[in-house]
Homo-oligomer: A and B are copies of this chain.
Amino acid sequence: MTSVTSEQGTSTARRTTGGRPADGRQRVIDAAVAQFAEYGVEGTSLQMIADAMGVTKAAVYYHFKTKDEIVVAVVTPVLDQLLAILREAEAQRGQAARTRAFLTAFTRLVIGHRQLLTLLYDDVAVLRILHEHWPHFDEFERRVPLVLVGPDADAGRLVAAAVALTGIVAAAASPQFTHLGDAELEEHLLDAGLRLVGARRRR
């Protein structure tokens, strides 16, 4: 079995080697997430990130050599979590259990990063960068729908899975629902997802 692994251990390592948390590197990431969510990756310049931090472009370049590196750093933690969710779900016995396990954890992850996940699903620039810099990202993309509906699913169920995944991510990011609390939105999203992939909701 090919294994999908992140090569981006640097930031984690740095945080353990005595450096204070919320160091400069992390501050860049935080600022970048906010800008990316509002203007998209291509619509965000290093100048905008620097301005949001109250520093200059050169200060940003001290932490990251390129803009692509920032994108990878922004997205890697979520991808790692998604990978963990994927593995745990795949380890369940029975397709129904795998479906429920993945969808439950996935919805929770989406809620925990309302703006960030849409980068992964909607921003063409992010997808291009990940295909360039993230080893086995394409394999990763294939495994997600499979764990949801199983390897023997017909086209109809694969389409339903795609609608569920992309719909959940986009709806969570929609300004339409910013007023909804995390718990309530999470429940509704999970509900919608389960209805789509054919499972009944446990009460």
Interfacial residues, chain A to chain B (CB-CB below 8 A): 38-40, 42-43, 118, 121-125, 145, 155-156, 158-160, 162-168, 170-171, 174, 176-177, 180, 184-185, 187-189, 191-193, 195-196
A24 vs B65: C-alpha distance when bound (angstroms):
42
A-B contact pairs, 30 of them (CB 8 A): A39-B124, A40-B123, A43-B125, A118-B122, A122-B123, A155-B180, A155-B188, A156-B191, A158-B177, A159-B177, A159-B188, A159-B189, A159-B191, A159-B192, A160-B188, A160-B191, A160-B195, A162-B176, A162-B177, A163-B168, A163-B196, A164-B167, A165-B167, A166-B166, A166-B167, A167-B168, A170-B170, A192-B196, A195-B195, A195-B196
Give CA–CA (A196, B167) in the complex, Å: 11
In the complex, what residues of B have CB within 8 A of residue A40's CB?
40, 42, 123-125
> Copy number in this complex?
2
Residue numbers in B under 8 Å from A184 (CB-CB): 155
Given A163-B164, A180-B155, A188-B159, are A122 and B195 also a contact pair (CB < 8 Å)? no
A165 CB to nearest B CB, Å: 8
Given A184-B155, A188-B159, A192-B160, the answer on whether A170 and B177 have CB atoms closer than 8 Å is no
CB distance from A164 to the nearest CB of B (A): 6
Partner of A196, one of B38, B121, B177, B196: B196
User: Across the interface, do A189 and B177 meet the contact criterion of CB distance under 8 Å?
Assistant: no
Which chain B positions have C-beta within 8 A of A145? 176
Known contacts A124-B38, A191-B156; A171 and B176 CB within 8 A of each other: no
Residues of B within 8 Å of A159, CB to CB, are: 171, 177, 180, 185, 188-189, 191-192
